[in-house]
Structure 1
Amino acid sequence: MHLVWFRRDLRGLDNRALSAASDASEPVVGIFIETPEQWASHHLSPKQAGLIKARLDALREELSAKNIPLVVERAADFPQSAEKVADYAHRIGATAVFANKEYELNESKRDEQACAALADKGIAWYAYDDRNLFAPGTIKSGKGEPYKVFTPFKKACLRALDGMDVSPCQKPSKRETNSAVDAIFSQLQPIHFDYPMEDVSDWASDEKGILAHMRRYCREQVADYKRQRDFPAVDATSQLSPYLAIGALSPRQCLARLQEEQADWREPDTGAATWLSELIWRDFYQEVSAQNPAISKKYSFLAWGESVVWDNDPTLFEAWKTGKTGFPIVDAAMHQLNQTGWMHNRLRMIVASFLTKDLLIDWRWGEDYFMSKLIDGDFASNNGGWQWSASVGTDAQPYFRIFNPTTQGERFDSDGRFIRRWLPALKEVPGKHIHNPWQWADKYAQSLDYPRPVVDHATQRKKALAIFEAAKNQPQEQTP
């Protein structure tokens, strides 16, 4: 019997561990371990927990049609989950456990422990690179070193794609059942999580619905991605990130469909090529995380980032979290996040810059808050984005490049359509004043149920420049 350990790879199609386990005639059983204490320490959002639960329900049904039972167990944390899988594999007489690799520090240690525990029981361990277009360590510079800057990494990835077969591996064929598998099916209980969950009924969780969403986007919308992606009032992004984050969809499936639907996917400046760049960004941050374990310990990629002296005002942090900063584009974005568990990517950059450069609050506070809310929370991508915004990460914007939240709003939500959707208190403010509502209110003696700006951007910009310059001039210690 073969046991497949599902983690962030919750799909039957294009799942390398599942495919390998199914190659032989052995019966196959799937297992998933809920780890509530570990999830809490990683700030897993209730939205994402809800999506994982919904996806497990659908995946169990999809696998059952192939005579593959999916067992869901619970362990407090990753070390206990490793022992749980080894014990379960031994109990059902499995000869091997198959899993897809995860590259973060805690996850890697968990798998080392699982491998050792299984070896003690005489059970084989097989792990596969499945999460990315290119496994960490695959794409290297001419000197044989990992890339630290995105653009040359992207160019190397595009070269590697020439002639590469990205066809997804197929689902397992229907398995022959036996008494042992039948016994496992008979013992399955409804899936229940101890971890808090929120409603995700607006998101598809079945394979058919997820694939239809991906195919429709690649066929009908991706051509406009480059032109429209920065405008949050426009429905121009794929919103496939939640499925990529939990592995309900693979990046290879996305690329294969993009190639199928868009002949110009390699042409510079097309919507298809720009969207492919986002998939490669995902690979890049996974690469950075895998090659630099200190990132999983919350260290800055750039050593001088540890010398930044943050203000860390809890009152200002609360205003940022609750969308009460008095900067409309920032507040509207935070209301979108808090209410839906998702935020437009341009807005993620704006609010992250505002937290770190205007409010002078440690990027790690924002990183954790995002993870606690995002339905598409992914450690590597979230960490990479926050370090980029704070100018302390790989490929980071220079520390002296500071977003002006007002001009960002004027540029990307010029008529205030997005702002009015999420901040109804500003719905009567005329369009040309929507990004400075208090200027209008004071001039025309209007009342507003909306806070005044909590800081002055020009003043905070000067402070940020001084703080970051001082940090860069400090003697640097090597990041552990």
Structure 2
Amino acid sequence: MQQLMWFRSDLRTQDNTALSHAMSSGATIALYLVTPGQWQRHDDAPSKVDFWLRNLAELSKALAALNVPLLVRHCHDWHEAPAQVAEVCHEHNIIAVHVNEEYGINESLRDRQVCAYLSQQAIAWHSHLDQIFFKPGSVLTRSGGYFQVYSQFRKVCYERLHTALPALIAQPKAQTPQAISSDTIPETVEGFATPSDSLRLLWPAGEEEALQRLQRFADEQVAYYKDERDFPAKPGTSQLSAYLAAGVVSPRQCLHAALAANQGEFDSGNPGVVTWINELLWREFYKHTLVGYPRVSRHRAFRLETEAVPWRHAPEELAAWQEGRTGLPIIDAAMRQLLETGWMHNRLRMIVAMFLTKNLLIDWREGERFFMRHLIDGDLAANNGGWQWSASTGTDAAPYFRIFNPISQSQKFDPDGQFIRQWVPELAGLNKRDIHDPSALGGLFAPSGYPRPIVDLPRSRERALAAFKNLSAREVPA
């Protein structure tokens, strides 16, 4: 009754649905596929690939304590997955393969192809709900469709949580030792540069680290989350997004830690806890959107009429945005944080996305791709959802006329300029009034070595409003 647990974006032993089912069904072997061609096609960041590999090494140790050997197979991309998985099954007399569901169109196609290939060889395929709270297709509108408005989706989720709270799954007990050795985990993969030691130190690998972060946040910070989450100079966020994206910690573990900090309440009680659970449900919403509206996995706008937005081809302005030299301090600080740490504060993600798509009127897909190529927490659903929200092309998106002013956002959320001084040191000598807009000082008093703004904010705002107002109501072909 030999079982195979195929790990993907679920690199943990605790609260792992597929692993639990596999080990309760028989002697279990684990598998991980290294697929550099697929990762490049998905624009996965070198820091993210490095983070996966470091977590895979920690996972191998955790599995060894359960006497589960971890095999690593290399293939270019997912086209080779059916043959690779089947080969492992034949080599070790596997009768069933267990996986946790994934939701992008490429992931779904891969799993259908592997399932079909294995079924031809009488090998069972078991796919388990694990990455989200509710199975896609089970949270629907009254007319039977997928939700397009988050608040309505959340209301149904609240009703479900009141009646069927997703339970944590106990870590399996160690099985009888297997006569199979685990494979060596690669430390690097061709095509992906090794990130700096300073970046790696910011993101230690392993379940133990992830759970410690979660517990610290629940004990010390979540109560203040609502009030402090928008201030990038404060430690107001959980710093768990990279661990969630790789599945080193689960949404269920996050939910239960939050509930424990709020006397079991998720929609009342401490506002900080309620707000953080709300963010977990946003993450859920975007995963469901991938399934209900697969065009968003194909680089298409959710709101099809916005495919007609006359996006500008402005490579020099795009490069200035990418490199943190726009002349707008909060934009440049945020982009430099991303380049150096592989992560960006969520409030800043919205500010820089609106600047690119509205003030520069550059296609949101350019920003989405650049983020994926640099984010250690890169996740298709969350990244696409966030970009399309900011660009006013997505589900429940910001109205096109709601355009963040980066200077007023900076004044509001980095009032003393502390975050700007950290990442734009050439402005460190400015006072807290002038640091948000050095160009207002005039050429004589402006700091040397810092560029003037690449765009006039009021004029660019009017240009964006005109571009969106002129959209016809016609739908372009899906």
TM-score range, shorter chain: over 0.9
d(CA) in 2 for partners of 1:139 and 1:299? 23
1:11 matched to 2:7? The reply is no
Indicate the RMSD between aligned Cα atoms, in angstroms. Answer: 1.4
After TM superposition, give the deviation of residue 478 of structure 1 in Å: 3.5
Deviates more, 1:162-171 or 1:384-393: 162-171
Deviations 1:374-408 (A, max 9, x none): 01100000000000000010000111111111111
Q: Which residue does 1:318 correspond to in 2?
A: 319
For the structure 1 residues 378 and 446, does the alpha-carbon distance in structure 2 shift closer, same or farther, using more than 3 Å as the test?
closer
Q: Is the 8 A contact 2:3 2:94 kept in 1?
A: yes
2:327 maps to amino acid: G
For the structure 1 residues 325 and 269, does the alpha-carbon distance in structure 2 shift closer, same or farther, using more than 3 Å as the test?
farther
d(CA) in 2 for partners of 1:131 and 1:405? 34
Q: Is the 8 A contact 1:218 1:262 kept in 2?
A: no
1:32 matched to 2:32? The reply is yes
Q: Which residue does 1:194 correspond to in 2?
A: 190
Secondary structure, counterpart of 1:72 in structure 2? strand
After TM superposition, give the deviation of residue 469 of structure 1 in Å: 1.4
Aligned-residue sequence identity (percent) comes to 42
2:303 maps to amino acid: L
d(CA) in 1 for partners of 2:185 and 2:10? 20
d(CA) in 2 for partners of 1:138 and 1:240? 27
1:124 maps to amino acid: A
Q: Which residue does 2:379 correspond to in 1?
A: 378
Q: Which residue does 2:22 correspond to in 1?
A: 21
Q: Is the 8 A contact 2:10 2:16 kept in 1?
A: yes
2:375 maps to amino acid: L
1:183 matched to 2:184? The reply is no
d(CA) in 2 for partners of 1:214 and 1:447? 41
After TM superposition, give the deviation of residue 67 of structure 1 in Å: 0.6
Q: Is the 8 A contact 1:326 1:450 kept in 2?
A: yes
d(CA) in 2 for partners of 1:317 and 1:325? 9
Secondary structure, counterpart of 1:95 in structure 2? strand
Secondary structure, counterpart of 1:183 in structure 2? coil
Which residues of 2 match residues 189-268 of structure 1 at below 5 A? Answer: 189-192=184-187, 193-196=189-192, 197-199=194-196, 200-263=200-263, 264-267=265-268
Secondary structure, counterpart of 2:340 in structure 1? helix
For the structure 1 residues 286 and 446, does the alpha-carbon distance in structure 2 shift closer, same or farther, using more than 3 Å as the test?
closer
After TM superposition, give the deviation of residue 216 of structure 1 in Å: 1.2
TM-score w.r.t. the length of structure 2 is 0.96
Q: Is the 8 A contact 2:427 2:447 kept in 1?
A: no
Deviates more, 1:219-228 or 1:191-200: 191-200
After TM superposition, give the deviation of residue 83 of structure 1 in Å: 2.1
Secondary structure, counterpart of 2:257 in structure 1? helix
Q: Is the 8 A contact 1:441 1:447 kept in 2?
A: no
Deviates more, 1:140-149 or 1:422-431: 140-149
Deviations 1:180-232 (A, max 9, x none): x32344xx234343341424232231222211110111111100000111111
After TM superposition, give the deviation of residue 167 of structure 1 in Å: 2.9
d(CA) in 1 for partners of 2:293 and 2:185? 39
Q: Is the 8 A contact 2:202 2:341 kept in 1?
A: no
Deviates more, 1:139-148 or 1:207-216: 139-148
d(CA) in 2 for partners of 1:464 and 1:83? 50
After TM superposition, give the deviation of residue 143 of structure 1 in Å: 2.7
After TM superposition, give the deviation of residue 442 of structure 1 in Å: 3.1
Deviates more, 1:248-257 or 1:266-275: 266-275
d(CA) in 1 for partners of 2:302 and 2:429? 45
Q: Which residue does 1:475 correspond to in 2?
A: 474
Secondary structure, counterpart of 1:393 in structure 2? coil
Q: Which residue does 2:363 correspond to in 1?
A: 362
Secondary structure, counterpart of 1:147 in structure 2? coil
Q: Which residue does 1:464 correspond to in 2?
A: 464
For the structure 1 residues 103 and 446, does the alpha-carbon distance in structure 2 shift closer, same or farther, using more than 3 Å as the test?
closer
d(CA) in 2 for partners of 1:156 and 1:31? 36
Q: Is the 8 A contact 2:426 2:447 kept in 1?
A: no
Q: Which runs of 5+ in 2 are unaligned?
A: none
Q: Is the 8 A contact 1:327 1:406 kept in 2?
A: yes
Secondary structure, counterpart of 1:30 in structure 2? strand
Deviations 1:301-354 (A, max 9, x none): 001111011112000000000000000000000000000000000000000000
After TM superposition, give the deviation of residue 415 of structure 1 in Å: 1.1
Q: Is the 8 A contact 2:12 2:59 kept in 1?
A: yes
1:96 matched to 2:96? The reply is yes
2:355 maps to amino acid: F
Secondary structure, counterpart of 1:2 in structure 2? strand
TM-score w.r.t. the length of structure 1 is 0.96
After TM superposition, give the deviation of residue 265 of structure 1 in Å: 3.7
Secondary structure, counterpart of 1:33 in structure 2? strand
Q: Is the 8 A contact 1:307 1:474 kept in 2?
A: no
d(CA) in 2 for partners of 1:238 and 1:284? 19
1:316 maps to amino acid: E
Q: Is the 8 A contact 2:438 2:446 kept in 1?
A: no
Deviations 1:155-179 (A, max 9, x none): 11111101424331011211112xx
Q: Which residue does 2:453 correspond to in 1?
A: 453
1:72 matched to 2:66? The reply is no
d(CA) in 2 for partners of 1:406 and 1:82? 52
1:406 matched to 2:407? The reply is yes
d(CA) in 2 for partners of 1:19 and 1:118? 21
